[in-house]
Amino acid sequence: MEIENVTYKLRPKRYGSWLEVLSQPLARELGRLRYPLRFAIVELNGDEITIEATTLRYSLDCAYVEPLQLIEVFSPRRKTFQAQPFGVVQIIPTGIRCEFGGFAGDAGPITNLLASAADFLVTHPNAVNASELNEMADNVLYVEGKSLDDFLLGHLGLLTVLTNKIGTFIDRTGIDYVDVIVNTLNAARAVKGIDCGLYMVLNAELGARIQWSKAGCAVGTVLDPEAVLSAVAFLLEQGIDAVGGVSVIHGVTKEMFARHLKGETPNPSGGIEAIITHLISKIFRVPTAHAPLPYYASLKEKDTANPRACAEFISTPHYFCVLKGLAKAPRLVPLASLENPPPHLLTVNNIGAVVMPASCLGGIPALAAEFSHIPLIAVRENNSILHVTNRQMEMSNVIEVNSYLEATGIVLALRRGISWESLRRPLHPARRIEIPQALSPGSAHRASS
């Protein structure tokens, strides 16, 4: 197995939703025996679009060839109806320096605000993870980013649970920090009552290393993906329900981290952490999340003037937030279809809105929302390093708002069945529409005569 970060330049013909437009040309670029762990449109220039992707190359004798053959983004399933309870998905892409969510857990308050307007809210770990802190509301569902993509694509259902048994893998490079991690596990058991008593050290060094994409996004690669997959398979054999991991992230410099603290660049480790968990999510379909070990012992300053980054300084393993999130994370259940899903599962049919930054509408969640005609609330104030807005994407389901305060009002209106257009001024009058002449009744008969 080999993980690669690649860039594609495509000139697709726009004939439907973006997912339908991109499927064939992207499939041709990928070829056989390569799975896209993540991809996003990062630039539109005339009729040319730039896609950055992280792919997994594998061979036919790979132990995991069967799950890798299904590429969910090429076979999306459209939401069939609006089910109850009413849910919202919040997305804050990692590795692109978002103003909200680009630091350690600083999207927690807006996550909880949005959740207060819905029956439940689904978000991914980096929105709420903050070292020892994870203050997500009780109706927030903690779902890893790849699983969240596949949930929106109609391939996964979510089963809410009271508790999960968590297993932990530790990168062999961080062997010196085992005692600190075990202390975290034992403290979580003694104080919070979390079932997290099993851990193991990888047989080989994972080799997680940061990279920067051409667009300036934080990405990365894993030199030995089989090491983590073997560990997860072994943990699952021990009866665990969710997997947490801690790894040393290589390649971060003091200058990089200082610029991140000042808000000038993305968190350098965010992208590689997502790749590790995306890999686990795809192969094993279990709740998972990751925390970085102290690669930065000689890199970090002791304090910061940026309150959004302060959670970085209150922990060594940054791992308790992961344990708290995974303890009640929903189980992941593959779906045969969306027509008659089991009533005990939450599916994309329950999702009434997707909320995300207005500057990065080229990722799978945004494209899946367009495909299923789910209102996409795009928040302008959550700036990032990207400029993929609806001005370029031209998706008809996008509702642009200035702030998360305004987004919460839109969610509440959607939940109550109130047209959001009636809440804005000017209120335009009803429009008369007519059937085109070529489609009107009798037109075929008149044409033939």
pLDDT value at residue 441: 64
**Closest CA relative to residue 405, chosen from 59, 126, 98, 100:** 100
Distance CA 363, CA 290 (A): 21
CA 439, 442, 447, 448 dihedral sign is positive
Residue 298, judged by CB atoms within 10 A of its CB (0-12, 13-18, 19+), counts as exposed
Total of domains in the chain = 1
Residue 6, judged by CB atoms within 10 A of its CB (0-12, 13-18, 19+), counts as middle
The answer to whether position 58 is within a domain reads: yes
| Cis? peptide before 287, omega within 30° of 0 | no
The answer to whether position 183 is within a domain reads: no
The answer to whether position 158 is within a domain reads: no
pLDDT value at residue 306: 77
pLDDT value at residue 439: 66
The answer to whether position 26 is within a domain reads: yes
Torsion angles phi and psi, residue 166, rounded to 5: -105, 130
Note whether 395 and 18 are within 8 A (CB). yes
Q: Which two tokens stand for residue 60?
A: 């036919």
Q: What is the pLDDT tens value at each position of the chain, 449 positions in all?
A: 999 999 999 998 778 899 999 999 999 999 889 999 999 999 999 889 999 999 999 999 999 999 999 999 999 999 999 999 999 999 999 988 899 988 888 999 999 999 999 999 999 999 999 888 999 999 999 999 999 999 999 999 999 999 999 999 999 998 999 999 999 999 999 999 999 999 999 999 999 999 999 999 999 999 999 999 999 999 999 999 999 999 999 988 878 878 887 778 888 888 899 999 999 999 999 999 999 987 555 555 656 677 887 777 777 788 999 999 999 999 999 999 999 899 999 999 999 999 999 999 999 999 999 999 999 999 999 999 999 999 999 999 999 999 999 999 999 999 999 998 898 899 999 999 999 887 666 655 555 54
3-state secondary structure 85-137: CCEEEECCCCCCCCCCCCCCCCCHHHHHHHHCCCCEEEECHHHCCECCECCCC
The answer to whether position 43 is within a domain reads: yes
The answer to whether position 140 is within a domain reads: no
The answer to whether position 312 is within a domain reads: no
Which residues lie closer than 8 Å to 289 by C-beta, 6 or more apart?
125, 129, 142, 144, 244, 245, 277, 322, 325, 326, 329
Look up the domain containing 46 and give its range: 2-72
DSSP, residue by residue, 10-32: E----SS-HHHHHHHHHHHHH-S
The answer to whether position 420 is within a domain reads: no
pLDDT value at residue 19: 94
Distance CA 92, CA 107 (A): 8
Note whether 393 and 383 are within 8 A (CB). no
